[in-house]
Structure 1
Amino acid sequence: MDAAAELSADGVRPDADALVIALFRTEAARLVQLARWFVDDRTAAEDLVQEAFLRLARNHHRIHDQDRAAAYLRSIVINLARDHNRRGLVSLRHRLPAEPDDRSAEDHATESESRQAVIAALRALPRRQRDCVVLRYYLELSIADIADTLGLSPNSVKTHLQRGLRALKTDLEVQG
């Protein structure tokens, strides 16, 4: 067995460790923000992101183009958030959310009625529309990056964005 194929004590190849560390430094905070659009509990969002990094490390061999690793992570976070919500908002470790949710000063400063209305309207969108809108306007990803993350064609992303924005506009105008 050559040195590149050797596994570390935790069962991960050294090059996988370097990739995970680099991505954690550049993507972790944004991934927590992404997860927060899907789950209310900050602790659960952080757990989802941690699990996504663990899965990336375990499945490093599936990534043939390391430039796509960030897209792979985003898709893992979105899928974990969906699973989390299907389980009735119980965290990955099957513990109850923090009592009450420990929110940051940033969370308190940005919370308002309009923000809550936008979040509710986003969560009411069909899944693909919501995913595309959140990735485009809250993570500021390009159409190509969204397509890569969700496994869609760029034209499908554009269609979901148009429909999602139209539905948001209608919903928010009715509320306002």
Structure 2
Amino acid sequence: MTPRVDLATLYEQHHLGLIRLARLLVDDLPSAEDAVHDAFLGMHRNLDSIRDADAALAYVRRAVVNQSRSQLRRRRTVREHLKGAEPEVTPPADDDVLLAEEHREVLGALDRLPPRQREVLVLRYWSDLSEAQIADALGISKGTVKSQASRAVAALGEAMGVQR
């Protein structure tokens, strides 16, 4: 008999890391928290169909990435329809204090990457996942992970003015 997934323990041990992951993908903390909570809720709904307790973290990580993508798509759609009605949003006054200049530059360059490249870098360097784990989380091949990472690192280097 396969061991049952202990959802409460999984949440307790990994929700903060998953929120950090989602935060890098969706740009704001409330949306990141929503993505993680929705992923755990979906896992709770499908708990009986998860046969491998060891794969539960990979399952919920992939769900967080998918929830983040969905939020970005919805956000983009709303912005397209409300372009004229949406007020100009400015960063908080203490934004400059929160991050050192180089961190803002890196995060800005990361934000300008195509979504797949950004996801690969965040999962690799922030979540410290292997190529196989990234491929599983994004539903792509390991070769695609390698090529997207290579392109993303090159684009970040160019954006940051790093000489090769």
TM-score normalised per structure 2: 0.76
* Structure 1: 4+ residue segments shifted above 3 A: 107-110
**In structure 2, what residue type is equivalent to 1:69?**
A
Match of residue 112 from structure 1: 100
Identity %: 41
Structure 2 residue matching 1:130: 3-state secondary structure: helix
With a CA cutoff of 8 Å and minimum separation of 6, indicate the structure with the bigger relative contact order: 2
User: Which of 68, 71, 93 matches 2:58?
Assistant: 71
Task: State the shift of 1:168 in Å.
Answer: 0.9
TM-score normalised per structure 1: 0.71
Asked whether 1:52 is paired with 2:16, we answer no
In structure 2, C-alpha distance between the alignment counterparts of 1:152 and 1:61, rounded to whole Å:
26
Name stretches of at least 5 consecutive residues in structure 2 with no aligned partner: 79-90
In structure 2, C-alpha distance between the alignment counterparts of 1:109 and 1:67, rounded to whole Å:
41
Question: Aligned ranges for residues 14-93 of structure 1 at < 5 Å?
Answer: 15-16=4-5, 18=6, 20-88=7-75
Q: For each residue in 1:45-100, what CA deviation from the matched residue of structure 2 results, as whole angstroms up to 9, or x when unmatched?
A: 1122111110111122443322222112112111211222222289xxxxxxxxxx
In structure 2, C-alpha distance between the alignment counterparts of 1:109 and 1:146, rounded to whole Å:
33
Question: Aligned ranges for residues 122-161 of structure 1 at < 5 Å?
Answer: 122-161=110-149
**In structure 1, what residue type is equivalent to 2:159?**
D
Name stretches of at least 5 consecutive residues in structure 1 with no aligned partner: 5-14, 91-100
How many residues align? The count is: 146
Pairwise CA RMSD = 2.8
**Structure 1 pair 65/54, CA: closer, same or farther in 2 (3 Å)?**
same
